[in-house]
Amino acid sequence: MIRFVKKTIVFAVVCYVLLLVLDILISNKLKPNMPSNNSDLVLLGSSRCQEHFDTNIISDSLGLSAFNIGLRGSKIDIHYMLLKEYLDFVPSKPQYLTYVFDIHDNNFSNNTIYRHYQFFPLLLYNLNYYNVLKTYAGFDNYLFFVPMFRYSGYIKVMYGGFDYFLYRGYYNINSHGLKDKDYVCLLDQDSINYAYTYDSTTVVCYLEKIINLCKINNIQLNLVYAPEYYICRNVKNRDKVFSLYRLIALKNNIPLEDFSVDSSLNANNSYFSDILHLNRKGAEVFTSSYYVPYMKNLIKNCE
């Protein structure tokens, strides 16, 4: 009996080691490329960060290295997780962080993540990811601690057969303008018949975590609200949700800039791919004519 138990344990250990080696090989192949050099300026947020802030223009105009860690379909808890992971990875911390906050997706009762499998290569034994992602669908506890199980049923993922957006940097391939006239007219009214759903407790919790992370690492933080098509300003409780960020920024003496108010930018159909996202042309105009001057002034005041 003892001999059988010993053989069973040896067999289990060998299997675990083999699975671990295979997991490491596959995950290292699939892991997104973190920036090889330190960045002076980091941009953090959702798709409205990833698609709106052209880091090539920023670097050329400001003379600072810049990296965009925005991620499509992500919420503020994911933003905190990504920032923490990035700061743990780079040897030298950035001087500035622009957090592109988003009031459109703060409903934490929806526990799904856009393309959740893009996190798979980074999950194993990663407690930073575990502490945040364990509450989301598709992230059972054993996936973080048992090699290869998270790839089960995701053969295409193992072969890299999908687009990664995680740590991809600035990414905007949209060239079309906003052309769906029926959709625009439907929303173009004095009052849109829906309101933003948000969890203020969770938003405040993670925003304060981002603020504290910047304080600990001596990073100058500023909050920015990215452009959106002008009709989005008609949502009934928009001001109430927006004020949550304003109050926290004021309390912590953090600059906050709203880029959704300029009509020459936010009412121009040719700059938008949909009502929430700029196309490539819009992103270039916004970055060079709005964000860069804002940052130049901010940096000057910080000196």
Question: Is it the case that residue 156 has pLDDT exceeding 90?
Answer: no
Stronger pLDDT, 263 or 51, i.e. the higher one: 51
Q: Is the pLDDT of residue 290 over 60?
A: yes
Per-residue pLDDT tens digits for 75-108: 999 999 999 999 988 888 999 999 999 887 777 7
pLDDT mean over 15-43: 87
The enclosing H or E element of 8 equals helix 2-30
- Angle separating helix axes 200-216 and 238-251, nearest 10 degrees: 30
Establish how many alpha carbons lie within 13 A of residue 116's alpha carbon, considering only the half-sphere containing its beta carbon. Answer: 17
Angle at Cα 63 formed by Cα 71 and Cα 261, nearest 5°? 55
Question: What amino acid occupies position 202?
Answer: T
Which pair of structure tokens corresponds to residue 192?
């849109």
- If one compares 153 and 212, the residue with the highest pLDDT of the two is 212
How far is Cα 137 from Cα 14, in angstroms, rounded to an integer? 31
Question: 66-68 and 277-278 as β-strands: parallel, antiparallel, unpaired?
Answer: unpaired
Q: Is the pLDDT of residue 192 over 80?
A: no
Q: Single out the residue of 98, 96, 89, 73 nearest to residue 31, CA to CA.
A: 89
Given a cut of 60, whether residue 142 has pLDDT beyond it is yes
**pLDDT tens column, 229-262:** 988 887 777 888 888 899 999 999 999 999 999 8
67 beta partners: 42
Mean pLDDT: which of 30-34, 54-58, 139-143 is highest? 54-58
The structure tokens listed for 41 are 């300026």
AA letter at 35: P
Which region holds residue 218: left if phi is over 0, alpha if psi is between -120 and 50, else beta? left
> How is residue 62 written in tokens?
């400001």
* 41 bridge partner residues: 66, 96
Please provide residue 235's backbone torsions phi and psi, each rounded to the nearest 5 degrees.
Answer: -60, 135
Given this model, what pLDDT does residue 196 score? 58
What ranges make up the beta strands (E) of the chain? Answer: 41-45, 66-68, 96-100, 220-225, 256-258, 272-274, 277-278
What average pLDDT does this structure show over 216-222? 97
The H or E element containing residue 171 is none
d(CA 32, CA 196) in angstroms, rounded, equals 32
Q: Is pLDDT of 275 > 90?
A: no
Cα(118)–Cα(4) distance, rounded to whole angstroms?
A: 41
Mean pLDDT of the chain: 86
Return the amino acid letter for 147: P
Q: Which of 4-18, 182-196, 278-292 ranks highest by mean pLDDT? A: 278-292
Judged against a pLDDT cut of 60, whether residue 189 lies above it is answered with no
DSSP 189: S
Domains and CATH numbers, the chain: 1-30+116-162 (no CATH), 41-114+165-302 (3.40.50.1110)
Q: Is the pLDDT of residue 188 over 70?
A: no
